[in-house]
Amino acid sequence: MSKKIDVSKFEKKMIIRNIIPDDFDDIIEMSKLCFPNMEPWEREHLQSHVDIFPEGQFCVEYDGEIIGSCSSLIINFDEYDDQHTWDEITDNGYITNHDYEGYNLYGIEVMVHPDYRRMKIGHRLYEARKDLARELNLKSIIIGGRIPNYFKHAKEMTPRQYVEEVTMHNIYDPVLTFQVMNGFTMKRINPNYLEDDRASLRYATLMEWNNIDYRPTVPKRQFKTSFPVRITTIQYAMKKISSFEDFAIQCEYYTDVAASYHSDFAVFPEIFTLQLLSFLPEKSPSLAIRRLTEFTEDYIELFTMLAVKYNVNIIGGSHFVEEEGKIYNIAYLFRRDGTIEKQYKLHITPNERKFWGISGGNHVNVFDTDCGKIAIQICYDIEFPELARIAVDKGANIIFTPFCTDDRQGYLRVRYCSQARAIENQVYTVLSGTVGNLTDVENMDIQYAQSGIFSPSDFTFARDGIVGECQANIETVVVGDVDLEILRRNRRAGSVNQLRDRRHDIYSINYKQS
């Protein structure tokens, strides 16, 4: 009797999946093999792809080995010049110009390991892109394709003649022939497309695959003349109270004020919950903070209720929270639909470390809201420009900064940096600080604040880059509108363009967390 064959030992599984950071080294080595005379990918490029548009980055894994990959981004193709270059369409390979509201998937690279060609790997990657275009209801896929065999025929024919011969299958080109076979049609030929593509003599064929399942009756984006977002930032008075109920009354009052102005966001200051210590007997700062963390669930329950009741998204200042024996300074986003997000303070001041033993978080988060993507950077964090740049590269249009400072010098550090971040990143920034005195709370004796809402500095924004600001050191609010459509236009056609004009060839930010 013959022995039953174990077929599992013959299996070699092929998987098409999204790229993850663990794949970077293999992809970089593969790019060196596939394009030996061209600049390979760098980790910073691939990390930016995964951070900004992870669902658009695919790889093929075969028997545990990466043997193919492709990268893409979404754009509105009509917004780019007909004779664009690869650097222009990809922001020098970092895809920070990716637009989730765009209509076209733009493929910027496909490669297959030389040892695994003629196994339909490229075809599988193209099919993954087509599936993504259908899933996201995109009009088309556009690619700028190399013509790597053109150098062999350049003396006898023009690029257009060469392309016509390849299209008619009289000449074989490994890239163009493949694209034609995968349903792409010619749009035009771009000169000087890829600087180091000598084999193509820097020419590229701009080609398109149209998504016949695209639903124009369900538009991806409603074009608007404006997209106003109203913000109420609260300059909160730190005064003695007798109970958590007193604190809740004060918070509800300001939420009601924000709602009465039909605000989309109400913004409270950093560690304003320290007001609760004014009715607790503990005087030691480190022990008092442990007592304060006991109110965490009450605080979260209160602000979740206020956000839903008053139909306003609340940046709930920040609060000290104990997790696994450590104390963190955490800012919460309470959405008006009842959902909650949180951002840990990353940089801890010497004062926080000395008096309260605060630990720092590790992630720069960007949150989706019904008014677009936002980030929260607590007080000291806004003084580190890398964080704002990372947040904007992840899509943030507004950066909220709850802060708490005791003197004018400390306040101005936060303010000047907040306004600098608005200009550097073409983003709106918002400050909310505490005022008043807590005579019974150690290390919270005095406060200094002048809360405000700031914009980039250009013709389309407020003259001084100040949407609105409170008077210094009084209990009050400021209400202001920021326009996300104006911001979008400014990022594309402002007097200057700090985001697009970055020199990725000489510097970059390496964000080490996924």
- Considering only CA atoms, which of 126, 122, 144 is closest in space to residue 134? 126
Sign of the dihedral through C-alpha 330, 267, 453, 438: negative
Active-site residue 139, yes or no?
A: no
Catalytic-role residue among 130, 139, 342, 345: 345
Q: How many CB atoms lie within 10 A of CB 373?
A: 17
Cα torsion through 84, 86, 91, 97, rounded to 10? 70
- How open is the CA angle 503-504-506, to the nearest 5 degrees? 75
Cα torsion through 122, 123, 128, 134, rounded to 10? 140
Question: For residue 298, with 0-12 CB atoms within 10 Å meaning exposed, 13-18 middle and 19 or more buried, which class applies?
Answer: middle
Query: How far is it, in rounded angstroms, from Cα 160 to Cα 157?
Result: 8
Query: How far is it, in rounded angstroms, from Cα 455 to Cα 398?
Result: 9
Catalytic-role residue among 109, 270, 352, 469: 270
Query: How far is it, in rounded angstroms, from Cα 14 to Cα 19?
Result: 14
SS3 357: coil
Query: How far is it, in rounded angstroms, from Cα 162 to Cα 457?
Result: 49
Query: How far is it, in rounded angstroms, from Cα 303 to Cα 5?
Result: 63
Is residue 479 within 8 Å of residue 444, measured between CB atoms?
Answer: no
- Considering only CA atoms, which of 81, 65, 78, 60 is closest in space to residue 18? 60
Query: How far is it, in rounded angstroms, from Cα 24 to Cα 498?
Result: 28
Catalytic-role residue among 379, 404, 417, 470: 379
Q: List, in order, residues 6 or more apart from 273 with CB less than 8 Å away.
A: 247, 292, 295, 299, 317, 318, 319, 320
Query: Which 8-state DSSP code applies to residue 170?
Result: S
Active-site residue 379, yes or no?
A: yes
The residue to which tokens 């075969």 are assigned: 62
- How open is the CA angle 254-260-264, to the nearest 5 degrees? 80
Active-site residue 323, yes or no?
A: no
SS3 content of the chain, % helix, strand, coil (to 5): 35, 25, 40
φ, ψ for residue 411 (rounded to 5)? -60, -45
**HSE of 509, CA atoms in CB hemisphere, 13 A:** 18
Catalytically active residues, by annotation: 270, 345, 379
